[in-house]
Amino acid sequence: MNINVHKFGGSCLSAIEDIDAVVERIRSSEGRAIVVVSAFNGVTDRLIEQIDHRSTTSNSAFTASIELEHIERVPEIATSPWAVRFAETLHHLAASLDSHAHEPNAEVRADALACGERLSSLAIAVALDSRGIPSIPAWSEETGIRLIGRGEDARIDSNRTKQLLEIPTGAVPVITGWYGVTKDGYALLGRGGSDLTATAVAAALDASSVTIWRDVEGVLALSPRWTLPARNLSNLSYTEAAEFALFSEPMLHPAAVEPLRVPGIPLYLRPLHSPDVDGTIIGPSIRLETPRVRAVGCLPRLVPLSWSLSSALSLTECVSDAMATLGRARIRVASVRAQPGHVRLLVSSRMAARAKRILSEKPSLPTPELGEPISILCFVGEGIGNDLTIRNQIESFANESSIHLRFSEDEKRDHAIHATVPANQTEISLQSLCAALDLLAQ
């Protein structure tokens, strides 16, 4: 029997209407359906706020509000066969929050955050079951999903997961995304990690397809965040999708396509409430006779933090120390450039001053200097990285619009061209270049 994996993210779990649509997508699924879910929309953000910012709301009152949120969207859960487990999970959440507040611990924190996915798994299983589709919640720790790493930046242990994976039969399993078990306890897969759970499970089961249901129609040539009418992309290669995902949150977890490459499993991104729309299919590379830019990603408003190194300082140790220090402070580094005698990191403009202060307080590191804000543009398309005509064309378009564009020479790629523009030219750069490259909808 064909196995088809369906992943539903938080944006598709916002209201009763979304739950109804989830049920219908599974009802119409061919072959054996496997479901992977994220936490309900907004729940993870609320959990992080409660854990990290010591809200005045007590943990018991906070947990009660989370309970109500799930009951409002799936009322049947309060009287379902899973009602006791639902209550136990809420109790476990409150206990984990109390434990972490008393003595912060990365594994306890991950365990508490994972309760959002566990509650979602229970609720979606109940919604399916109560509408005539036999279903069962299947949590990562029970199904054998194993990770490597700690905290929020772990990765799937593909070999171990394939060895241990046990999916319940006789009913539609609703698997928790985003987290798994390591040798030390619980860990998380980072932002968008449920995508990776879905594709890892699909690869382990040799599934026929993976469908990630979303609240938009497939993948656009430019992220919707820029409010420009970009073209919808009917297809992308695995390589194009992985590159574009790095520069176009929240399109897809950048590593999500990797488990699918060798088996060649197709990945579909489709709109939840428009099942007749094909969306975007991601699969093996399809080389065009003439390479062209197919999408443009952007990491906006980044500030360089740079410093020079004396011969007494180890370049590797310096970079590792800086990255670890910023990681503990939950400051994301978008780019690292290290060469003998010089280091440059890029962080978001809103974090730059804090990052400089934190690094300046490290005796082992020189005090970094802040540069002018920039934005990174990523032009994506198979073969464009080795085509000087494409590069010259982009440069010509930029000059015509008085855009101060600089190509990056750090790492040339066959499928992408990277460049930077001043942060204050980000919007005009995207609008002008996407129009010139024919990436905007007519």
Dihedral in degrees, nearest 10, Cα atoms 321, 323, 328, 333: 160
Query: Do 172 and 33 touch, CB atoms closer than 8 A?
Result: yes
Q: What value does the mean pLDDT take over residues 295-302?
A: 95
Closest CA to 428 of 373, 372, 377: 377
Q: Closest Cα to residue 125, out of 200, 191, 54, 33?
A: 33
Q: Counting runs of H as helices and runs of E as strands, what totals does the chain give? A: 14, 21
Looking up tokens 């509650």 gives 119
With a cut of 60, say whether residue 440 has pLDDT above it. Answer: yes
Residue 442 has pLDDT above 80, yes or no: no
Query: 327 vs 236, which has greater pLDDT?
Result: 236
| Segment (H or E) for 50 | helix 43-52
**φ, ψ for residue 96, nearest 5 deg:** -65, -40
Pick the most confident of 243-247, 343-347, 430-434. Answer: 430-434
**How far apart, in whole angstroms, are the C-alpha atoms of residue 96 and residue 11?**
26
State the Cα–Cα distance between residues 304 and 325, nearest whole angstrom: 16
| Distance (Å) of CA 289 to CA 282, 292, 382, 387 | 19, 9, 10, 12
- Which tokens hold the place of 71? 């009951």
Axis crossing angle, helix 315-328 with helix 349-360, rounded to the nearest 10: 120
- Give the pLDDT confidence score for residue 152 in this predicted structure: 83
**219, 280 in Cβ contact below 8 A?**
yes
| Largest interatomic CA distance in the chain | 70
What are the pLDDT digits (tens) for 93-132?
999 999 998 998 889 999 999 999 999 999 999 999 999 9
Distance between CA 353 and CA 356 in Å, rounded?
Answer: 5
Q: Read off the pLDDT of each residue in 237-257 and give the average, rounded to a whole number.
A: 90
Contact 441, 231 (CB under 8 A): yes
Domains of the chain with bracketed CATH: 3-215 (3.40.1160.10), 300-373 (3.30.2130.10), 375-436 (3.30.2130.10)
pTM of the model: 0.91
Whole-number percent of the chain with pLDDT over 90: 75
Position 313 scores a pLDDT of 60
Region 265-280: mean pLDDT is 94
Three-class SS state of 44: helix
Q: Report which of 113, 92, 6, 93 is spatially closest to residue 49, judged by C-alpha positions.
A: 113
> What does pLDDT average to over the chain?
92
* Lowest-pLDDT range of 16-30, 331-345, 427-441: 331-345
Single-letter amino acid, residue 14: S
Distance CA(180)–CA(18), nearest Å, equals 26
**Could you report the per-residue pLDDT of 65-101, keeping only the tens digit for each?**
999 999 999 999 999 999 999 999 999 999 999 999 8
Q: Cα–Cα distance between 32 and 30 in angstroms, integer?
A: 7
Only one residue has tokens 């999500």, namely 256
Over range 305-317, report the average pLDDT: 76
**pLDDT above 60 for 5:** yes
Is pLDDT larger for residue 340 or for residue 62?
Answer: 62
Does residue 196 surpass a pLDDT of 80?
yes
**Cβ 193 vs Cβ 116: under 8 Å:** no
CA atoms 277, 280, 282, 288: torsion sign: positive
Residue 312, pLDDT above cutoff 60? no
| Per-residue confidence (pLDDT) for residue 54, from 0 to 100 | 67
pLDDT digits (tens, 9 = 90+) for 374-397: 999 999 999 999 889 999 999 999
User: Which tens digits make up the pLDDT trace of 348-365?
Assistant: 999 999 999 999 998 888
**pLDDT tens-digit profile of 24-65?**
999 999 999 999 999 999 999 999 999 987 667 899 999 999
